[in-house]
Structure 1
Amino acid sequence: MTDGLEGARERRVRTGEGVELCVAELGDPAHPTVVLLHGYPDSKEVWAPVARRLRDRFHVVLYDVRGCGRSSAPKPLRGGFTLEKLTDDFLTVLDAVSPDAPVHLVGHDWGSVQGWEFVTVRRTEGRIASFTSMSGPSLDHFGHWIKKRLARPTPRRIAQLLGQGAKSWYVYALHTPVLPELAWKGPLGKSWPRILRKLEKVPAGAYPTPSLPTDAAHGAWLYRDNIRSRLRRPRDDCYAHAPVQLITPTEDAFLSEQLYDELELWAPQLTRHTLPAKHWVPRTRPDQLAVWISEFATASEPDAAGVPAQLAAPRTGRYAERFGGQLVLVTGAASGIGRATAFAFAEAGARIVVVDRDAEGAARTAEMARLVGAPDAWPETVDVGDGQAMEKLAARTAAEHGVVDVLVNNAGTGVTGDFMDTSVEDWQRTLDVNLWGVIHGCRTFGRQMAERGQGGHIVNTASAIAFQPTRALPAYATSKAAVLMLSECLRAELAGQGIGVSAICPGVVNTNITATTRFVGTDEEEEKRHQDRTTRLYGLRNYPPEKVADAVLRAVIRNEAVVPVTPEAHGARLLSRLSPRVVRALARVRPRV
């Protein structure tokens, strides 16, 4: 058993040079094989959270690169880490773990740099079914990228060169003799876990391993043996012979997104994803990586005759690049705005947690979300007004699916009638769902977002009535005005942690909320008549919930604070700002129901 890889089967594989590689395996060897290759200054344990999520569907293989972790180092170190020798190691591992079937290769950082070499050299053709790259370019592609910008300089290209040059400061440092080894075996090695937690928000745990100082010292030769030679003389035949999936963290401190411009020239079968995260995504975003790796590997798996599968067309939904693979939780999602919002995120490729008190309705929404594009969707039956139930939901969701990227607190209930006719029970029910449901959601899931340290977004459904007081809806208007103010306060508090908060304020939308709205001060028969009449009026207005859902996704993308939806919502907000007296006068009017 290996540190951070509980239940792994470990073996030693000896290369032709006499280097012993430590190989760990999880899952059923009869399943398709996924090889996870670590970067610098990591060991294979960096992949542990991803490996655990893949082990049920794949035969997962991880190995320590020569000189790292439990693998031995070449002697001498100089010249022992060339990409040619690393390719020999890779093929030796494949002969041991998957001699008869191609593997799905996944690389991060220098694992990705190696992966680009493996997927573009002739001697690995037929051995790689797919390659997923993150935070590590092909040195050959990088060399051509530099040469093209030097050959035809423009202000934009020069800025790109200077920008990437500044991000690559550590490369120059690692080429200096002796100093990197002394730093890693001294103060840098001791402080590295703390640096990762502070700057990258990497969770504490079994990573990094105690071998870090030695791993980092040996790994400096990856740079010394390869960087200058490849960037000066990049190969011209560096075309990928397998489908490639590129995952680009948008906040990577070491690599610019522009580095992958025109990558389609070298990788014709290219699928792109961006991820709002920093460099060490295997530790900070394992849930999302596992989804993308699993999807891509499954789509790339050869058929029984060994013919490569035709990759599914990339998702073309309007927001697919932004939300693909992310985890979105929507409350009140059995119908109306909640269901439409779940579908909108599903069409963008997000994974969906569907929450509602209506178990049957939640299950229907989850099933339909999968049909319209969600990689997966899970129904949850929860009363959002129950704080303990929401705490349990948050813990269960994090354990089974990961930390939520987008939370939509949408569950709501309606009540109308004069204040004096509204009972304590009606007030309690309205505030429990409309206000406390939002508070519970923000506290439980918002805390997880903050602790993860990778940002996120919270959307709270308020109402146009939050701008417009009325004698007819004192309980409902109070709850929605409170949601609006809560959202503004929380937005200010969480801004420094990269977590956005938006309040969505719909007006009259054609949903089924009118059929369940309480009309206080009436008998049962009159209440039913009011519900039917209001439902007909909302139906005649016929403003679809899908437009509100679209506003929700735009609010997340643009990080909007307050989003009125429907003309009456915009009008109420504008009037509340320009003429409060008129607003107060209108509040006295008793609506005809």
Structure 2
Amino acid sequence: MLRDLEAVRPRPDHPQRTLRQDAVRGIELYRANMRPRLRHPRERSTQVPVQLITLRRDHYVSPFLSEGLERWVPRLTRRELNATHWSALLEQGPAVAAMVREFTARTDSALQTGSELPGGEGPLVVITGAGSGIGRATALAFAEQRATVVVCDLDLAAAERTAELVTLLGGSGHAHRVDVSDGAGMDAFAQQVAATHGVPDVLVNNAGVGHSGTFLQTTEKEWQRILDVNLWGVIHGCRAFGSMMAERGQGGHIVNLASAAAYLPSKLLAAYATSKAAVLMLSDCLRAELAPTGVGVSAICPGIVNTNITRTTTFSGLTGDEQAARQTKVSKLYARRGFPPEKVAAEIVRAVRTRQAVVPVTVEAKAARLLGRLSPGLLRLAARFDLG
């Protein structure tokens, strides 16, 4: 049973003579603890720091059993291990022991220094392009879960402001200046995060830039800019942090910001739509590869969202003044649409919790995905029209 259901490999050095009896005694402990509490129910709470380690592949104790536990255990730290019920005990003892050591060391340090005891600690989250828009909104959404949020952006001042807001909301914010298109820079950033905070539980590859232009209008330099940030930035993030998460063996989640443009063709978005379609497919491929490690991958596909990406979007074949006028026009259009980045952030948090693969956000994004399945020819026909 251990081999077939629990994926536990037989070990000749394991003291198996008492294994069956130990299992039976463990069941009796469950009964001894549960029976009197079922007979005499009452609210039981504690202010003692508690670490809860949930097992992603546990066949017997579902993670849903701990939903809402913070009501009774406000100083709760949640950790996750990619293991079955028995493999965690028989094969991943060192990983469990490391979690216990980290938690007790942090608690002991707080007691010795007189600082606040750990508790209510959320995940470690890394977000790129978090100086504004969806990135900042996502950082604040995780801050409400008392997460440690490490944000990066080309604009360091904007990233630092996001980190300040994270701290004000109860999380722990940390800011860095990083160019996601620089592979070596992203690797160094990942190493710094791991050395300072540990391996992230959640990575959100959010950094992106906008561009409008037909294929024949778009220059090689414009193509390079879009692909460097929108595609290579995601690749660098997934490679730098994803390898750490897989090697750690405790699960985790990667969120890649794609777009409704990934499956909604338009002759005016040749480079942008191509970059986002590549992110969507990359997410599908990476999800399959990382599934055995317990690391999930979600692709988020927003439609029209009111962020400042419209104020920095470039347009092929326009002069400087024409670019500025077009940016102002598109920004007003997105503002009238009125869909805030906070709603996208809420979908990102939900995708991490539910491990949803592809998440269309906004009505037009959902409609386009449905229409692409029902009548892809109609979408291809619509792509011919100049909607700019």
Q: TM-score, normalised by structure 1?
A: 0.53
Shift in Å, 1:484: 0.3
Across the aligned residues of Structure 1 and Structure 2, the Cα RMSD in angstroms comes to 3.4
Query: In structure 2, what is the Cα distance between the partners aligned to 1:454 and 1:247?
Result: 15
Per-residue CA shift, 1:13-50, capped at 9, x if unaligned? xxxxxxxxxxxxxxxxxxxxxxxxxxxxxxxxxxxxxx
Aligned ranges for residues 67-216 of structure 1 at < 5 Å?
144-145=32-33, 147-148=35-36
Could you tell me which of 248, 252, 275 is aligned with 2:79?
A: 275
Is residue 51 of structure 2 the alignment partner of residue 247 of structure 1? yes
Matched with 2:15 is none
Aligned ranges for residues 333-352 of structure 1 at < 5 Å?
333-352=130-149
Matched with 2:13 is none
Task: Decide whether aligned partners of structure 1 residues 401 and 270 sit closer, same or farther in structure 2, where only a CA change above 3 A counts.
Answer: closer
Give the AA of the match of 1:482.
A
Task: Decide whether aligned partners of structure 1 residues 423 and 249 sit closer, same or farther in structure 2, where only a CA change above 3 A counts.
Answer: same
Query: In structure 2, what is the Cα distance between the partners aligned to 1:355 and 1:588?
Result: 37
Per-residue CA shift, 1:307-350, capped at 9, x if unaligned? xx9x99x86xxxxxxxx431100000000000000110111111
Could you tell me which of 345, 369, 374 is aligned with 1:549?
A: 345
Is residue 127 of structure 2 the alignment partner of residue 293 of structure 1? no
Query: In structure 1, what is the Cα distance between the partners aligned to 2:350 and 2:112?
Result: 31
Task: Decide whether aligned partners of structure 1 residues 244 and 434 sit closer, same or farther in structure 2, where only a CA change above 3 A counts.
Answer: same
Per-residue CA shift, 1:295-315, capped at 9, x if unaligned? 97599x59xxxxxx9x99x86
Task: Decide whether aligned partners of structure 1 residues 485 and 149 sit closer, same or farther in structure 2, where only a CA change above 3 A counts.
Answer: same
Could you tell me which of 309, 319, 330 is aligned with 1:523?
A: 319
**Which protein, 1 or 2, shows the higher relative CO under an 8 Å CA cutoff with sep ≥ 6?**
2
Task: Decide whether aligned partners of structure 1 residues 247 and 257 sit closer, same or farther in structure 2, where only a CA change above 3 A counts.
Answer: farther
Give the AA of the match of 1:357.
L
Per-residue CA shift, 1:404-459, capped at 9, x if unaligned? 11000000001101211111111001000000000000011000001111111000
Give the AA of the match of 1:452.
R
Give secondary structure in 2 for the equivalent of 1:505: strand
Give the AA of the match of 1:338.
G
Question: Structure 1 regions of 5+ residues with no counterpart?
Answer: 1-140, 153-238, 303-308, 316-323
Give the AA of the match of 2:152.
V
Shift in Å, 1:291: 9.3
Per-residue CA shift, 1:523-545, capped at 9, x if unaligned? 11111100000001111111000
Matched with 2:161 is 364
Question: Structure 2 regions of 5+ residues with no counterpart?
Answer: 1-28, 82-87
Query: In structure 2, what is the Cα distance between the partners aligned to 1:363 and 1:291?
Result: 29
Could you tell me which of 221, 237, 248 is aligned with 1:441?
A: 237
* Larger Cα-atom Rg: 1
Task: Decide whether aligned partners of structure 1 residues 439 and 143 sit closer, same or farther in structure 2, where only a CA change above 3 A counts.
Answer: same
Task: Decide whether aligned partners of structure 1 residues 294 and 381 sit closer, same or farther in structure 2, where only a CA change above 3 A counts.
Answer: farther
Query: In structure 1, what is the Cα distance between the partners aligned to 2:311 and 2:305?
Result: 13
Give the AA of the match of 1:591.
L
Query: In structure 2, what is the Cα distance between the partners aligned to 1:257 and 1:360?
Result: 43
Query: In structure 2, what is the Cα distance between the partners aligned to 1:519 and 1:327?
Result: 37
Whether the 8 Å CA contact 1:391–1:444 is kept in 2: the answer is yes
Query: In structure 1, what is the Cα distance between the partners aligned to 2:252 and 2:54?
Result: 14
Whether the 8 Å CA contact 1:288–1:326 is kept in 2: the answer is no
Shift in Å, 1:271: 3.7
Give the AA of the match of 1:389.
G
Give the AA of the match of 1:275.
R
Is residue 196 of structure 2 the alignment partner of residue 400 of structure 1? yes
Percent identity, aligned pairs only, is 49
The count of residues paired between Structure 1 and Structure 2 equals 344
Query: In structure 1, what is the Cα distance between the partners aligned to 2:61 and 2:369?
Result: 41
Shift in Å, 1:150: 9.8
